[in-house]
Amino acid sequence: MAKKPKAASNTIALNKRARHEYFIEEEIEAGLELQGWEVKALRVGKGNISDSYVIFRNGEAFLFGAMITPLNMASTHIVSDPTRTRKLLLNKRELDSLFGKVNREGFTIVATSMYWKNAWVKVKIGLAKGKKLHDKREDIKDREWQVAKQRIMKNANRG
């Protein structure tokens, strides 16, 4: 009887810094237009979206700053650019909504995660507003309080 292979995580890359730097108001799933060598590199886990954000050009959205490191055994006849600007696959209504919010309301769009959905690579993009320093301190304080509260509850349940 053959063993089933363990299910690998669907997540390719996370942008943890985005939640620290911004208030994420809304998240949208978008497809990503990739080349063959990029898909192969992402299967190995060579993606990084920590400094990426979305820009608009000619009515289309593009992921800027995402890094996909090519495999060393990549084909020699293809020039692989690791920081290539990649097109996001969104429908017209989503594009218009995002474009309006960025231009009128001063939002920024950042990539929060990249993952596999069936055979497709998807990017979760977040409509974000920048945090001030005091907001970041408040978040850290809240996080530390949650940890301390769990510790107190754990010790209280022992005795």
Q: Cβ contacts of residue 117 below 8 Å, gap of 6+?
A: 10, 29
Reported confidence tier of residue 124, pLDDT bands at 50, 70, 90? very high
CATH numbers and ranges of domains, the chain = 11-132 (2.40.280.10)
pLDDT at residue 13 tops 60: yes
The two structure tokens encoding residue 16? 């943890």
Mean pLDDT of the chain: 83
* Mean pLDDT for the stretch of residues 130-140: 77
Q: How far apart are CA 68 and CA 52, in angstroms?
A: 11
pLDDT at residue 5 tops 60: no
Q: How far apart are CA 38 and CA 40, in angstroms?
A: 5
* Mean pLDDT for the stretch of residues 7-15: 76
* Mean pLDDT for the stretch of residues 100-116: 85
Q: If you count them, how many residues does the chain have? A: 159
DSSP for 116-147, written as a single string: EETTEEEEEEEEEEEPPHHHHHHHHHHHHHHH
